[in-house]
Amino acid sequence: MTKKIMILPGDGIGPEIVSQVSKLIKWYNENTDLNFETENGLIGGASIDAYGHPFTDETLEKCRSADAILMGAVGGPKWDDVDFDIRPEAGLLKLRKELELFANLRPALVFDALIDASSLKPEIVKGLDIMIVRELTGGIYFGEPRGIETLKNGERRGFNTQTYTTSEITRIGEVAFELAKKRSNKVHSCEKANVMESGKLWREEMTILHADKFKDVELEHMYADNCAMQLLRNPKQFDVIVTDNLFGDILSDEAAMLTGSLGMLPSASLGAINTDGKMHALYEPVHGSAPDIADQGIANPLATILSFSMMLRYSFGYKEHADRLDNAVQTILNRGLRTKDVMAKNCTEISTMQMGDEIISELSS
Ligand code: IPM
Ligand code: MG
């Protein structure tokens, strides 16, 4: 059956890394029984330049009707001065919110071949495999009221609202517990229940959900600041970490850097399963648009390629193809082929395009 993929290259290095996946998709169409149909659309600064808005309703509708979405990255200094509510990032937030992509899966995996790229000692990170499950459509990112107002005394006041409901907490908790069951069966739930009411509720609802449905999974509550510290002290104590939108943004960057190679980390943002059995899903690398290295052919496309592998796995259930693609990435790294960001002694530096080609020739072999 043909799967429709909407591709949003975005800004900075987005187009060059995403085009490696387009090449890969063409290879799958020509060489396997898989069949993909793709369409490209604009998001972020590229969309602001073309339409004056970071994500148009027309592109949104195309995403809604696709079977999965692949994005590069958004943002860059060029759009620093545009109005706050139409910044490139606002386009991505609109896509997440409109398709209700509430479950953001961010694996932090240390590849043996890249162990020296981590700033932590090898024995601390060797074999590290953490899954951060970040709530993506609630919390302070979207809470109302929000704004900047001028007070009577002339001072300005900026404000945002952190809010979570039972159902928002429960549905992300379920994703985390279900994932843990397929992994090492352990969930750390992180909030600031010692300071914030929304955190207190988060902890209570996670406890109830655990007792109701997931008693066989180990659950540990942890304050988010302690989690930030523990991630550096002893990251291998973690299996699945479930947390809110803002803490998840921060903790996932920290966990990503434990691996030493932000350019390697994929992500999936999954929605609820509709009555017709369809689940909206967006796949994107965790790294940003890196405008400083755009158009030089040196960006690492592997995070995007691994995001495509997550698409094969989570949206389409093509587990064997996903495994094969993940293995191809490992093999290329083991052979010492590297893009500049993860370049090391005795390795060979190759370009963005060459990396795409190497993955394809490894799949073909
Ligand atoms: C991320 C990014 C986004 C976020 C930005 C680009 C809106 O930092 O995906 O982690 O803050 O969620
Ligand atoms: Mg972030």
Protein residue with its CA nearest to atom 5 in ligand 1: 89
- pTM of this structure: 0.94
pLDDT digits (tens, 9 = 90+) for 87-145: 999 999 999 999 999 999 999 999 999 998 888 999 999 999 999 999 999 999 999 99
> Is residue 83 within 8 Å of 53, Cβ to Cβ?
no
Tell me the mean pLDDT in the region 6-18.
98
Query: How does DSSP assign 292-325, residue by residue?
Result: GGTTTT----HHHHHHHHHIIIIIT--HHHHHHH
pLDDT digits (tens, 9 = 90+) for 304-315: 999 999 999 999
* Residues involved in catalysis: 141, 192, 225, 249, 253
Choose which CATH entry (3.40.718.10, 3.40.980.20, 3.30.70.20, 3.30.750.24) describes domain 129-258. Answer: 3.40.718.10
CATH fold group of domain 1-105+264-365 = Isopropylmalate Dehydrogenase (3.40.718)
Enter the DSSP assignment of 33. Answer: S
Ligand nearest to the CA of 73: 1
Phi-psi region of 346 (alpha: psi -120 to 50; beta: other; left: phi over 0): left
Distance CA 213, CA 173 (A): 11
Protein residue with its CA nearest to atom 7 in ligand 1: 89
> How does the average pLDDT of the chain come out, rounded?
96
How distant, in Å, are the alpha carbons of 11, 15, 71, 292 from that of 92? 12, 16, 9, 21
Expressed in angstroms and rounded, the spacing between residue 365 Cα and the centre of ligand 1 is: 37
Who's near 276: CB < 8 A, 6+ residues apart? none
Parse the chain into domains and list their residue ranges. Answer: 1-105+264-365, 129-258
Which residue type is seen at 245? Answer: N
Q: Which of 72-86, 102-116, 163-177, 253-267 has the lowest mean pLDDT?
A: 253-267
Q: How confident is the model at residue 78 (pLDDT cuts 50, 70, 90)?
A: very high
Tell me the mean pLDDT in the region 14-25.
98
pLDDT digits (tens, 9 = 90+) for 195-249: 999 999 999 999 999 999 999 999 999 999 999 999 999 999 999 999 999 999 9
Residues with CB under 5 A from ligand 2 (ion): 249
Protein residue with its CA nearest to atom 10 in ligand 1: 249
Q: What percent of the chain has pLDDT over 70?
A: 100
Ligand nearest to the CA of 97: 1
Tell me the mean pLDDT in the region 290-314.
97
Which atom of ligand 1 is closest in space to residue 74's alpha carbon? 6
Q: Which of 156-170, 257-271, 345-359 has the lowest mean pLDDT?
A: 257-271
Which atom of ligand 1 is closest in space to residue 73's alpha carbon? 6
End-to-end CA distance of the chain: 25
Please state, as a whole number, how many other Cβ atoms lie within 10 Å of the Cβ of residue 146: 12
1-105+264-365 and 129-258 share one fold: yes
